[in-house]
Chain A
């Protein structure tokens, strides 16, 4: 079930919210957890609930054990158990495909049909939607208890609601327990008072971003990307700009919808994007793009590795490790590792030259940062490293100028307008909604209405696969 579907908007959401408004206490938490599980089952396969159930139950239990013990060795043992189980599940579901492909290729080198062995099929598994998100959430919960930064949650229904709360379950924002559990406690105690206006306007903005921009652009550029290895300079750049638009509007649109849905349940989910294409340096970009993941990686990977406390060289190595693993978090493909490495190098380069970089005019830094970030998307979108190389070849003009015919002129205009808009306009979180005029409200409503009736053209969110 997608947020951008009639089934969700006209059936699931009204029923879930309508019943939730009548409930309090554990009944409300139970209802939220149940609805989230139903939502998750419809997001793919009902068996998706099994790994989520294992991860949730184990970490609830482990959290309790760690909290109850004062023996450092026992606490550490439970922590290792949790990390092993969670990362093991993630590795099996997420990286077994890469393992299977590698083994199959290796076997086929030895013998042409050896790769067809039945056991290889054991590693061909469907990736449960959202596993990367909820695994990180539960890991941070256990680590925080281990660090004695927060107490274990005693109420399993509340904990399950925190993990599975359907607005953020499948593609974030990656919400920490200290952000969500207190709010769940509040609504369990006082009931839900929806913030209709703030919620629905934000949801509408997110829906329009997804349906009217991301999907339209995606439909136009996908066929060109399929032949990117033979495209010239113009088409290579245009589809790259198009992809920068698609992924931003797709993911930030989803996040807006998720936050809007949270507000309907009187839950404020963390902001995930803050006009990332207005960043003025690679470092600034990571404070604006997928903010919740960046902070998670900082708090649970970069800083534990030593952060910037162990000398210049170690800082750079830590940065590289964090960015490469952050890249691999997105998928089992060396292209994602390269994407992370590329960003790591950009951050490294920026830190080395920040004094001279920061004196340039802001507009120049903004454009330069956008172009660097956009070049990195080549690794993110290309299915293989060799195709990424060919894409870079097209961007460098190695196959000539080429023609614009691959993308229609009005689509090219939409892409360019979206790029300029995302680099210059204030985002919905920066606007004072209390001054929203009648004209603006009518316009947003009309656009949202168009997005609603165009939902059947819509596709899954890009971040569902991560």
Chain B
């Protein structure tokens, strides 16, 4: 077609106006609903801070969705009453490690949903400002952490700390772009159907369960609260570990199925993982150095996989090569920074079997206790190296 402007038929002005109005209406409705319920927890910081401050040892912080875990961690680390001896910073893969698994140390489990390198960098600033610095910091580094395809914006809850970290590292004005980028990320999140769908599902669940639409505190033991609910919720104890209600867990057949399809369904983008992100590894090493320079011991942990999942990852040449490279990088990084590194990726090293897993990569308490024992042993070993570097 040798088209010319004159050959293009025009759309009537009124029809076009209605077209534009319809586009805008869909966008405005989507944005408004998403912003009102905020199931992505993008603007929950103040509420979570308030709840975390009020949370005592006998309270559970609960919500139907993942609330702003960063705000909770920030409040806990900056709490003048804090006296933890061991801090866990990881994804939910180590989120089930509870105080009961560490009989000789007080623990703060600071697991975060989908942590990225930015979270670890920002957390070092939180530690700098913490009235009490936990002498041992455990960093849980999942296999997919160094997969460049993996990206998540939830760290933006700690934008101020992220900026402070990079300013201290001597970086320039580009760091300040993070503030408008946070606004932009929030805007996009609220203008998406994915959020709208989650919001509508959330509202329906909350309505049926007659539960509040915002996170709230419950004075109950985990067992008591689990007996009251009929569907899984996000439950965080006062020391930070998440609670998985035994009666609401998936049957073993479902767990095994999830473990089997982990790679084929491209969970954590593992199937499309081409190269190990060395720039992330470099930044992680800098963050570890930062923590070590404050005199804290660091234990780097590679959390375990379900045996079937692990076997699938090992049998795939691409993921096997990447896992080996990640483990080599982490081992060398630990050696250079004076951190301890324990590679628990292979569940057989721990003696964990399929029945010890909640899904392809989350452990039950039975395996969690074994992880905790290994962490405690590594923490003991690193106690002598707790000098500032």
Residues of A near any B CB (own CB < 8 A) = 6, 179, 195-198, 200-201, 204, 223, 226, 263, 266, 268-271, 291, 429, 432-438, 440-446, 448-450, 452-457
Contact = CB atoms under 8 A, between A and B. Distances in A.
Contact of A438 (B8, B14, B191, B193): B14
A181 to B, nearest CB: 13
Q: Which of A266, A291, A454 has the most CB of B within 10 A?
A: A454
A450 B1 CA distance: 31
A270 B264 contact: no
A433 B11 contact: yes
Interface in B9-28: 9-16, 18-27
Q: How large is the interface on B (under 10, 10 to 19, 20 to 34, 35 or more residues)?
A: 35 or more
A70 B118 CA distance: 63
B85 interface: no
A195 B16 contact: no
A438 B10 contact: no
Given A270-B2, A434-B12, A452 B23 contact: yes
A270 B8 CA distance: 12
A436 B26 contact: no
A429 B7 CA distance: 11
B221 interface: no
B283 interface: no
A201 B2 contact: no
B188 A456 contact: yes
A197 to B, nearest CB: 4
B73 interface: no
8 closest A-B pairs by beta carbon, nearest first, are A449-B26, A445-B22, A268-B3, A441-B15, A445-B19, A271-B1, A197-B11, A441-B19
B264 to A, nearest CB: 7
Contacts of A263: 8
B24 A449 contact: yes
A432 B7 CA distance: 11
B196 interface: yes
B23 A226 contact: no
A259 to B, nearest CB: 8
Contacts of A271: 1, 3
A269 B11 CA distance: 19
17 contacts: A196-B16, A198-B10, A201-B16, A270-B2, A291-B1, A441-B11, A441-B12, A442-B21, A442-B22, A445-B20, A445-B23, A445-B26, A449-B22, A449-B23, A449-B26, A452-B27, A456-B194
Contacts of B193: 450, 453-454, 456-457
A179 B2 contact: yes
A271 B7 CA distance: 12
B196 A453 contact: yes
Contacts of B14: 438
A270 B3 CA distance: 6
Given A452-B27, A456-B192, A432 B9 contact: yes
Contacts of B8: 195, 198, 263, 268
B25 A449 contact: yes
Nearest to A266: B5
B279 interface: no
B26 A437 contact: no
A432 B43 CA distance: 47
B192 A204 contact: no
Given A197-B16, A263-B8, A441-B19, A446 B26 contact: yes
B19 to A, nearest CB: 4
Nearest to A445: B22
B36 to A, nearest CB: 16
A89 to B, nearest CB: 23
Interface in B264-311: 264-265
B200 to A, nearest CB: 13
Nearest to A450: B26
B9 A434 contact: yes
Contacts of B30: 453
B19 A444 contact: yes
Nearest to A444: B19
A444 B7 CA distance: 22
Given A198-B8, A433-B11, A6 B26 contact: no
Contacts of A446: 22-23, 25-26
B3 A442 contact: no
B4 interface: yes
Given A268-B4, A433-B11, A434-B10, A441 B23 contact: no
Contacts of A455: 192
A436 B27 contact: no
A226 B196 CA distance: 30
Given A263-B8, A271-B3, A442 B192 contact: no
Nearest to A201: B11
A255 to B, nearest CB: 11
A201 B19 contact: yes
B23 A448 contact: yes
A198 to B, nearest CB: 5
Contacts of A449: 22-27
Given A6-B191, A452-B27, A457-B194, A200 B9 contact: no
Contacts of A453: 26-27, 30, 191-193, 196
A433 B18 contact: no
Nearest to B21: A445
B194 A436 contact: no
A441 B191 CA distance: 22
Contacts of B264: 223, 226
B203 to A, nearest CB: 17
Nearest to B29: A449
Nearest to A11: B184
Contacts of B11: 197-198, 201, 433-434, 436, 441
A135 B22 CA distance: 40
A313 B194 CA distance: 57
A458 B386 CA distance: 48
Nearest to B22: A445
B9 A433 contact: yes
B144 to A, nearest CB: 20
Contacts of A269: 3
Nearest to B30: A453
Nearest to A271: B1
B188 A438 contact: no
A196 B8 CA distance: 11
Contacts of B265: 223
A12 B261 CA distance: 39
Given A198-B9, A204-B23, A268-B5, A438 B18 contact: yes
Contacts of A443: 22
B2 A433 contact: no
Given A441-B22, A453-B196, 14 more contacts: A6-B188, A195-B5, A204-B23, A270-B2, A270-B3, A291-B1, A433-B9, A434-B11, A441-B19, A453-B27, A453-B30, A456-B188, A456-B192, A457-B193
